[in-house]
Structure 1
Amino acid sequence: MKRQLPLRKRVALAYGLVGMVLSLCFGVATGFIVADYEVFMLEAMLEGQSRHFIEELERNPDAELPRSPAFSVYREAEAPEGLRNLPEGVFDLEDQKDMHVAAYGPPGQRVVLMIDIGRVERLEEYLLQLFLLILAVGVVVSAWLGWVLSGRTVAPVLQLADAVDALPVTPVQTRLAETMSRDEIGRLAGAIDRYQARLADADASERAFFADASHELRTPIAVIQGAVEVMRDDTEASAAQRARLARMERGLAELGGLLEALLLSARGLPPQRDSIHLAEDCRRALQRLDIPGLDAPRRIRLEGEGPTALAAPQRWVDGILLVLFQRLLVSSAQTEWLGQLDADGLLLRPAQATAAGSGSGARSDLGLGLVFVERLCRALGWRLERGEGDAGLQVRLRIPPGA
Structure 2
Amino acid sequence: MASDTASLRRKPDSVASKGERRRTPYRRRLRSRIIVSFVLLGFCLTTLFAFATNWARMRVENQLVEDVMNRNISEYVRRYYESPDRNPDLPVQQMRARLIKPDKFEALREEEPDWYEFKDGLYNMGGVDERGERYSYKLAVRKTPDAWAFLAYDMTDSVRGGQQLNRALFLSVLVFSLLSLVLGWWSASKVMKPVSDLAARLRAYRGGTSEPEPLAPRFPDDEVGQLAQALDDYSSRLTEVVQRDREFNADVSHELRTPLAVIRGATELLLTRPGLDEKVLQRLQRIQRAEQQCSDLIGALLLLSRNERGQGSSNVARVAEQLLDAHRAQLGGKPLELHLDGERDLVIDAPEAALSVALGNLIGNAVKYSQDGEVRVHVGTNAVSVTDSGPGLSEEDAAKLFQRGYRGTHAGHSQGGGIGLSIVSRLCDLYGWQVSVRPGGARGVIATLTFSPKPL
Query: 2:451 pairs with 396, 399, 402, which one?
Result: 399
Change in CA separation of 1:291 and 1:196 when aligned onto 2, cut-off 3 Å = farther
Q: CA RMSD in A?
A: 5.9
In the alignment, the residues of structure 2 paired with residue 171 and residue 199 of structure 1 have an alpha-carbon distance, to the nearest angstrom, of: 15
Q: Do residues 377 (structure 1) and 414 (structure 2) align?
A: no
Counterpart residue number, 1:105: none
2:349 aligned counterpart, secondary structure = strand
Quote the residue 1:110 is aligned against. Answer: none
Query: Counterparts of 1:211-222 in structure 2 under 5 Å?
Result: 211-222=250-261
CA distance change for structure 1 residues 17 and 335 in 2, over 3 Å: closer, same or farther? same
Structure 1 residues 84-99: aligned runs within 5 Å: none
Query: Does the aligned pair in 2 maintain the 1:250–1:293 contact within 8 Å?
Result: no
> Quick check: 1:299–1:337 contact (8 Å CA) kept in 2?
yes
The 8 Å contact of residues 38 and 184 in structure 2, kept in 1 or not, is answered as: no
Aligned to 1:386: 437
Query: Match of 1:257, as an amino acid?
Result: D
The alpha-carbon deviation at position 220 of structure 1 amounts to 3.4
1:110-259 paired onto structure 2 within 5 Å:
118=155, 121-122=158-159, 124-130=161-167, 133-134=170-171, 137=174, 141=178, 195=234, 198-199=237-238, 201-223=240-262, 251-259=290-298
SS at match of 1:401: coil
* Aligned counterparts of 2:430 and 2:437: Cα–Cα separation in 1: 18
Q: Deviations over 1:200-256 (max 9, x none)?
A: 5533432431232132123334555666778887979795x7777776666555434
Code of the residue aligned with 1:399 in structure 2: it is F
User: Pick from 17, 28, 45: which aligns with 1:21?
Assistant: 45
Distance of aligned partners of 1:213 and 1:324 in 2 relative to their CA distance in 1, 3 Å threshold: farther
Aligned partners of 2:92 and 2:307: how far apart in 1?
A: 101
| Inter-CA distance 203–326: structure 2 relative to 1 (3 Å threshold) | farther
What 5-or-longer segments of structure 2 have no aligned partner?
A: 1-26, 64-89, 96-121, 125-136, 140-152, 394-407, 412-417
Asked if 1:347 corresponds to 2:394, the answer is: no
Q: Percent identity?
A: 22
Instruction: State whether residues 349 and 394 of structure 1, in contact with CA within 8 Å, keep that contact through their aligned partners in structure 2.
Output: yes
Superposed counterparts of 1:33-52, under 5 Å? none
Pairing partner for 1:70 from 82, 88, 93: 93
* TM-score relative to the length of structure 1: 0.53
Pair 1:302 & 2:341 matched:
yes
Counterpart in 2 of 1:89?
A: none
The 2-side partners of 1:193 and 1:248 are apart by: 50
Structure-2 separation of matches of 1:167 and 1:386:
40
CA distance 1:222–1:341, change in 2 (3 Å)? same
Tell me which amino acid in the other structure corresponds to 1:219: T
Deviation at 1:265, TM superposition (A): 2.8
Q: Residue 395 of structure 1 aligns to which amino acid in structure 2?
A: A
- Structure 1 residues 24 and 347: alpha-carbon distance in aligned structure 2, compared to 1, 3 A threshold: same
- Judging changes above 3 Å, is the alpha-carbon distance between structure 1 residues 225 and 343 closer, same or farther for their aligned structure 2 residues? closer
2:329 maps to 292
Deviation for aligned residue 1:11 = 5.6
Kept after mapping to 1: 8 A contact 2:343/2:381: no
CA displacement 1:325-354 (0-9 Å, x = unmatched): 55654665666432222234211113xxxx
Corresponding residue number in structure 2 for 1:58: none
1:260 to 299, 311, 318: 299
The TM-score with structure 2 as length reference comes to: 0.48
How far apart, in 2, do the equivalents of 1:342 and 1:328 lie?
Answer: 19
Match of residue 112 from structure 1: none
CA distance in 2, matches of 1:378, 1:95: 83
Q: Deviations over 1:308-333 (max 9, x none)?
A: 4x434455445544565556546656
Is the 1:11–1:147 Cα contact (8 Å) retained in structure 2? yes
Larger RCO (CA under 8 A, 6+ residues apart):
2
Could you say which structure has the larger radius of gyration? 1
